[in-house]
Chain A
Amino acid sequence: MNWEVVIGLEIHAQLSTKSKLFSGAATSFGAEPNTNTTLVDLGMPGALPVFNKEALRMAVMFGHAVNAEIGMKSVFARKNYFYPDLPKGYQTSQMDDPIVGKGYLDIPMEDGSVKRVGITRAHLEEDAGKSLHEDFHGMTGIDLNRSSTPLLEIVSEPDIRSAKEAVAYVKMIHSIVTYLGICDGNMAEGSMRCDVNLSLRPKGQQEFGTRTEIKNVNSFRFIEKAILCEIERQADILEDGGKIVQETRLYDPDKDETRSMRTKEDANDYRYFPCPDLLPVVIDQEYVDAIKASLPELPSQKAARFQEAYQLSEYDAGVLSASRAMADYFETVAATCNNAKVSANWVMGELSKLLNQSNLDITDSPVSATALGELLVRIEDNTINGKTAKSVLQAMWDGEGSADEIISAKGLKQVTDTGAIETMIQGIIDANAAQVEQYRAADEDKRKKMIGFFMGQVMKASQGKANPGVVTPILTKLLNG
């Protein structure tokens, strides 16, 4: 059977507010257990939540970035369930009236097509604490530092049809929230977590199959792998005439498999109702418009500008605008060397290669954007050629100094003195009389091929420092006699 996969994603992005969603406690990561807490986060009797307006601003920013309707009146609701790290016995979230309503994202795919994914909604909610099961001798430790940390839950429509599209969508969301500066995007620390809703249906069928939900997948790579193995698992069951059980599953990256966490029968009735401790959040058009006006350039806008202003291909523009850090780096290089195409090639080529080898992010690059730009200037002004530049970059990477320092210390400056080059070429012509004879006897086409031999000799004699732009006309002139 030919199956079509149907995927919807729920992404929890932790908002980078300084304090929590409903208390003044800090949101910083890695503090001593239960130190980033107030009465509110501890669920003390009598403690009341106070809404952090900064989270509202960030949510509205996101809404604009995904072309969404903004909820002019949003309502916090309580999601009731018992868990030891949920101190109030309910999570304050949004249900019927979220801050961000329907929107969409257009995602450029590798093959040049554009995939549109609908955004169902995005709502604000508080995170729970953490239960720590190790180191407590059969007991459980509770750390409430994360309790009431602000999350934006971004729910997509079931519009995604492959693991590739899913990853492209998550990357796009990641890129948007980091561009907006509303989430640090650190998936390893859990700042962005993803739940995958997935079902299969025979190709051509309209109605959806039974879905499963894979909880808390926390890297791009795991999202892809989790989806691939869940597709396989569901296909196997369906091919054998079985039925998919609606359930929540966990992805185990070590075993590369998903396994059941709880079925629908064990599911909680969360008894949502509007939180009586918080007033509805009412905003006006002026507020919404002011946020829209203050939005930074978004990835798609940046990519379009790169194509337009720098004459880059759609693909190059997309790669360079994927992260704000990458885009900023590229633009600094281009501004320094004044050649966008060369800058793009070097950032995406040699620099990315070095970064990948060392598993470094561009923000941690030992070669600054200005330093790389200065190196490229030396190609532009013919001080060195491209090949030499690669070895200079490696030396810069290794901390040997600036491009100019390395070029000078290693004597890598190209020879452009026509007199010296002419003398050198004359010497080579004299030493290779037979080849010169052959060349002179050959027709135009053959000559073009043969000139490579002489060029090689020149480079060998000059230790690669002869400027090919200077060599070529002299060589041609002397060979033609």
Chain B
Amino acid sequence: MTTQSIAELSQQLANKEVSSVELTKDYLARIKQHDGALNSYITVTEEIALAQAEYADKLIQQGNTSPLTGIPVAHKDLFCTDGVLTTCASKMLHNFVPPYESTVTQRIKSAGAVMLGKTNMDEFAMGSSNENSHFGAVKNPWDLTKVPGGSSGGSAAAVAANLCVAATGTDTGGSIRQPASFCGITGLKPTYGRVSRFGMIAYASSLDQAGPMARSAQDCAYLLQAIAGFDHNDSTCSEVATEDYLAGLDQPLNGLRIGLPKEYFGEGLQEGVAVAIQNAVKEFEKLGATVVDISLPNLQLSIPSYYVIAPSEASSNLSRFDGVRYGYRCEDPKDLMDMYKRSRAEGFGKEVQKRIMVGTYALSEGYYDAYYLKAQRIRRLIKEDFVNALKQVDVIMGPVAPTTAFGLGAKTDDPVAMYLEDIYTLSVNLAGIPAMSIPVGFADNMPVGLQIMGNYFAEAKLLNVAHQYQLATDWHQQTPNLAEGA
């Protein structure tokens, strides 16, 4: 089976060259064949998928379709799905079946798409390697000894390995872009507030944002069209009107001003990654863009700022997992305190516990001003950096991550090295602007992602820029060779 775009598949479905049931069965078979080695899914919802595919075929018969009708997709396992296990890759929620549907998955469902299952991730979206999962690490389809990135590693690996056409992810500090980069796919983190967070299990509420992960910018545009827009269930969801994300894709890039921040090309950047990024920028120049050197002086401060704000919010967001109403509860609690302590100590993994403790400490009396408030002040500086830079240029480009995918276990004992993985992505979340990762080549046989950052609500512009590049190149069409049974 060759990989095909949503546009192509949609056309084939409309022409009755293939039915959604046939397509869905193909994908379910591929998952059976390959996911034992990849571990990209936590739950495969075969029955639901086939039922939805049958329904989609009926809609297609009636001619009552959207571009996503009948297209098999997968959801990161932190979107609540009504009646379907939703674990956040945590023992804490190993048995949690939500009684409701998240806005993102509901909108994709309403567009007629087929849900193949729920993808693996770092527990509660905390991690950059997908090694922090109660259900085991996800492997990179390009090299099974390497990580797929995180936290949306399952979604990225599944798309890269063609175990779904497209997937949803979430991005709090790079969790869509970095795994997209590591797995050679296209991912978009929209502007904060562009997509509803309702039904998305929160990690850090002021940073979390859901977005599409797919093979191409065009496929991402189809998904974004379905999920973007106001939702009265999420007070932080924006009322700014959505755009037609597909209509703008064909705009030529003549006169596009690209900012290259010098801070993104400094120490620690793998040479092969730098070369791939430089080549991509040259390609954009060929397409009519001009390059401007810019500076985002507070980039270095994004790591300490993020690692105070995100854990602070997480420490509060994860308080509801107390063993009282749902999820994991320890055996034979002695009393209330024992129940709280053991349920949470046994239910949460190490990284989650670490971040809860860091956040609890940062918010404590006597430390709040020095940590939380200071981090918020830095956040404003970082935001101003972007606002100022985006007055001079239309988009900002740089690497997504300093390296290509690293080996499984290579950084698990070095948290600082792991946190540095996110140096180029965190600031985007702190500022709230949208950003993409698109594949632009390989370094040491592993994919390299280019990051494209834009102004608030400029998703259409980002998708346009990415699409024009993908029309001129074929990096996004490269697929890993999966061995039989791997």
Contact = CB atoms under 8 A, between A and B. Distances in A.
Interface string B314-328: 011011111011100
Contacts of B93: 45
A419 interface: no
Given A51-B235, A277-B236, A89 B322 contact: yes
Interface stretch (B200-208, B256-264, B277-285): B200-208
B86 interface: yes
Interface in A366-381: none
Given A87-B320, A89-B320, A279 B102 contact: no
Interface residues on B, range: 35 or more
Contacts of B100: 39, 44
A12 interface: no
B447 to A, nearest CB: 31
B196 to A, nearest CB: 9
A142 B98 contact: no
A78 B316 contact: yes
A87 B320 CA distance: 6
Contact of A89 (B79, B206, B232, B316): B316
Interface in B333-361: 336, 340, 360
Contacts of A46: 78-80, 98, 102, 197-202
Interface string A44-60: 11111111000000000
A80 interface: yes
A90 B316 contact: yes
Interface in B230-282: 232-236
Given A87-B320, A142-B324, A271-B363, A48 B98 contact: no
Given A84-B324, A89-B322, A44 B99 contact: yes
B363 A80 contact: yes
A89 B319 contact: yes
A208 interface: no
Contacts of A89: 316, 318-320, 322
A23 to B, nearest CB: 10
Interface in A222-281: 269, 271-273, 276-279
Nearest to B360: A271
A209 interface: no
B322 A82 contact: yes
Contacts of B52: none
B365 interface: yes
Given A46-B200, A278-B235, A279-B236, A80 B206 contact: no
Interface string B291-322: 00000000000000000000011011011111
B482 to A, nearest CB: 33
Nearest to A45: B201
A276 B205 contact: yes
B364 interface: yes
B96 A45 contact: yes
Contact of A273 (B78, B98, B321, B363): B363
Contacts of A174: none
A82 B316 CA distance: 10
Contacts of A271: 315-316, 360, 363-365, 368
From A42, A46, A84, A87, residue with most partner B Cβ within 10 Å: A46
From A42, A88, A277, residue with most partner B Cβ within 10 Å: A277
B372 interface: yes
A43 interface: yes
A276 B199 contact: no
Contacts of B235: 48-51, 277-279
B408 to A, nearest CB: 29
A49 B316 CA distance: 14
A98 to B, nearest CB: 18
A74 to B, nearest CB: 14
Interface of A: 39, 42-51, 78, 80, 82, 84, 87-90, 142, 269, 271-273, 276-279
Interface of B: 78-80, 86, 88, 93, 96, 98-100, 102, 197-202, 204-206, 232-236, 312-313, 315-316, 318-322, 324-326, 336, 340, 360, 363-365, 368, 372
Q: Which 7 A-B pairs have the closest CB atoms?
A: A89-B319, A276-B205, A271-B363, A276-B206, A46-B199, A45-B201, A43-B320
